[in-house]
Structure 1
Amino acid sequence: MSRAYESDLPTTYNRPPADRTKVAPGEIAVGVVVGRTSEYFDFFVYGIASVLVFPSVFFPFASQLEGLLYAFTIFSFAFIARPFGTALFMMIQRRWDRSVKLTASLFLLGTATAGIAFLPGYETLGGFSILLLALFRILQGIALGGSWDGLPSLLALNAPRERRSWYAMLGQLGAPIGFLVASALFLFLFTSLSNADFQGWGWRYPFFVAFAINVVALFARLRLVVTHEYTAALEERELEPLGTREMLRKQGYNIFIGSFAALASYALFHMVTIFPLSWIYLGDTQAIGNVLAVQIVGAIIGMGGTVFSGWIADRIGKRTTVATLAVLIGVFSLFTPMLMNGSALQQDLFILIGFALLGVSYGQASGTVTANFERRFRYTGAALTSDFAWLFGAAFAPLVALGLSANFGLAYVSVYLLSGVICTLLALRINKRLEND
């Protein structure tokens, strides 16, 4: 998934060497958007299947709620594995090169995704099917950790100073695009097939599509990454991998500040995508096809919000944008119990308003403090900051939100989102003080 961007870099960082033709930001942006969209599509296919399919296919012995919670537990495994994947593939890149690392990571991602598509259910393999599902999910996380290609950092460094936030949002645009495609595909299959066919074989097609998209994305990104021009550009910007131990020892505080600065946005991420689908599915308060259709509209709104974030952040600043949206997310969280416990229209409003806030906040959430990294730490630091932001903010969001709301009430979802808001505002405050010292 999307990595951290450098935002408020010194002017000298944006100046290409005199003996090299400047890399066009628009060309880099194509690789960034294609790569991030494919990654998000993979994760959203798995997330939607965790609600609509996995409880009945892999956990038929459990109640509906327990099946969802088990599926969300395995859902979190990929986020836990991502930092380890980053460390492993950084080592592979140091030993061989960037193209070997990218090819190996995306091959692993495609293999794990296709493995899920072919995986028999509990009725065929018993508990072994659950173990294999968990293994494939872990492999997905390791592969996603290794898919960092440095293009978002290169894009930020080559973007015009006055339009950095605009270019920074392009990688984030992959999230709503990936969700839109995944939701549309599941909506088509869910409404076109009988429930028996969908649960039996129909749900496997999105995983096949994910494999095909990964192949296309691999060639699109390799076309950029392996060229002499881009290799030289990455090296001249000192965008090279470092050992994660050294990174954590010398710049660990920046990684954690950056991770928590994005927490409000990342906490909201699965609260408007996966959680509403699971809550409505559990309560059977409206047709799932309608929910998927509303979420497609929400994804379009989220795309508009992401684009708008680039425009507004270039005018008022990235940090101000992120802080303002964190406050608005906090206000929005207070209405969660009323909306999600209300009518179908109120539930739809929760999704649509949530996507609007998510688009603007997520569009600028990455890279709020990445400019604090020393140049030689920037490549690995951007990768690990994103890994930990997803781990702290989004990995357990569906599990925690559904578990708490089902057992204690939706007010706990408000508390969960508010905790993310507080973490974001505190991290931004600490970062500002560190810059002033």
Structure 2
Amino acid sequence: MLVFPALFFPFADRLQGTLYAFVVFSFAFVARPLGTVLSMAIQRRWSRGTKLTVALFLLGTSTAGIAFLPGYQTLGAASIVLLALFRIGQGVALGGSWDGLPSLLALNAPPERRGWYAMLGQLGAPLGFMLASGLFAYLVASLSTADFLAWGWRYPFFVAFAINVVALFARLRLVVTHEYERLLDERELEPIGVRELVRSEGHNLVIGAFAALASYALFHLVTVFPLSWVTLYSQQPVAGFLTIQIFGAALAAGGIVASGWIADRIGRRSTLGASAVLIGMFSGFAPTLLGGGPLGQDVFMLIGFALLGLSYGQAAGAVTSNFSSKYRYTGAALTADLAWLIGAAFAPLVALGLSAHFGLAYVSIYLLSGAACTLAALSLNRALGPRD
């Protein structure tokens, strides 16, 4: 969001360009469920390794494509179309990269340690965010605005491409082993047709998606939206704000670890519910903090990241416990896709659009609605508690 409005939407003012960029940003999350459906078909037809190879190759290609993509001044409207296609490619690839590991961890963990094992896979998000924010902060602080817009912003995408290559080989070495296949077969973690899943456990699909809604709504309201708000309406240096986000991501990582410890003592359903209540309370202070200058904005970030860690740490754990073993593999993947789509895909767009035109109170309403949806879903899904 630091670059795309100026590079791909120079014909619009800064606010409108950022909103256009957020529309394109959402395409990846819209495409994720499609990626899951296609990848499950590939896995049933060929193999899990083939599916993962195709998905990660597409992810790397799409990421590299964005890194090399010329701007509007060079390609005109074609640059926007290509950017949208690459974002869709990233979304399809992310949907296809599901390997069943969260479900496998939750099922094979001791009952009293399932919360701890469920949070392990969630640690990658804050660690990756710290790396990306650190790299962007260094480039913003080291380069002139002209150099950063011309070529500096592309380097993080090159790093992401390199990480994807490493991830491809690491995950392939895991999923093609006989031990991994045996564990998946023992737990009946195999892809199921989407029609059969919706017909048999569609209620779990919907409830599971809404159970994690508060976490996913908060995710982009502390990672993406504040950066755009500060860039547009604050005098705070971008490099300094990115540094605060790095510290916030560290708090999120600590919160994720803490969520595993808490969930093993009070249950994952109770942990998610308590986190949603805290997020709802936090939403009431969002307008004051975001409108309170650099100090208030920094406090918003740090508290928001800490709450994100507590809620996000058990989001995947709750998903895996919703479904019977036959439907768990596909159900967990689609539930996560829907949670990202409903809660996170349009969060920056809605938050910035409403707050810019009607005031920051609408950020509170958005967060509060996510917390309310989580609490409603958890109250309906009574089976989530016993399966902890």
Fold match (TM-score > 0.5)? yes
Residue in structure 1 matched with residue 305 of structure 2 by the alignment: 355
CA distance in 2, matches of 1:259, 1:220: 29
Aligned with residue 370 of structure 1, among 320, 326, 330: 320
- 1:304 is displaced (CA, Å) by 0.5
Q: Mind listing any 5+ residue stretches in structure 1 that lack a counterpart?
A: 1-50
Q: Does the aligned pair in 1 maintain the 2:36–2:92 contact within 8 Å?
A: yes
**How do 1:375-390 residues align onto structure 2 when only pairs under 5 Å count?**
375-390=325-340
CA distance in 2, matches of 1:433, 1:100: 35
**How do 1:37-436 residues align onto structure 2 when only pairs under 5 Å count?**
51-368=1-318, 370-432=320-382
- 1:435 is displaced (CA, Å) by 7.7
1:317-347 deviation digits (Å, cap 9, x = unpaired): 1111111111111110000111000121111
Q: Does the aligned pair in 1 maintain the 2:319–2:332 contact within 8 Å?
A: no
* 1:305–1:84 distance in 2 versus 1, CA, 3 Å: same
CA distance in 1, matches of 2:203, 2:235: 45
- 1:113 is displaced (CA, Å) by 0.5
SS of residue matched to 1:368: helix
Scaled by the length of structure 1, what TM-score is found?
Answer: 0.87
Q: Which amino acid aligns with 1:328?
A: L
Moved more, 414-423 or 149-158: 149-158
CA distance in 2, matches of 1:340, 1:372: 36
- 1:434 is displaced (CA, Å) by 8.7
- 1:367 is displaced (CA, Å) by 3.4
- 1:243 is displaced (CA, Å) by 1.1
- 1:121 is displaced (CA, Å) by 0.2
Q: Does the aligned pair in 2 maintain the 1:302–1:356 contact within 8 Å?
A: yes
1:350-378 deviation digits (Å, cap 9, x = unpaired): 00000111111111122325323121101
Greater than 6 Å deviation, 4+ residue runs: 433-436
SS of residue matched to 2:313: helix
SS of residue matched to 1:272: helix
Q: Mind listing any 5+ residue stretches in structure 2 that lack a counterpart?
A: none
* 1:370–1:113 distance in 2 versus 1, CA, 3 Å: same
SS of residue matched to 2:314: helix
Aligned length: 386
Q: Which amino acid aligns with 1:188?
A: Y
Q: Does the aligned pair in 1 maintain the 2:119–2:317 contact within 8 Å?
A: no
* 1:433–1:311 distance in 2 versus 1, CA, 3 Å: closer
Aligned residues with identical type, % of pairs = 71
| RMSD, matched Cα | 1.2
CA distance in 2, matches of 1:434, 1:266: 19
Q: Which amino acid aligns with 1:64?
A: R
Q: Does the aligned pair in 2 maintain the 1:85–1:146 contact within 8 Å?
A: yes
Q: Which amino acid aligns with 2:370?
A: G
1:18-44 deviation digits (Å, cap 9, x = unpaired): xxxxxxxxxxxxxxxxxxxxxxxxxxx
Q: Does the aligned pair in 2 maintain the 1:110–1:211 contact within 8 Å?
A: yes
- 1:228 is displaced (CA, Å) by 1.0
1:58-110 deviation digits (Å, cap 9, x = unpaired): 00000000010000000000000000000001000000000000001000000
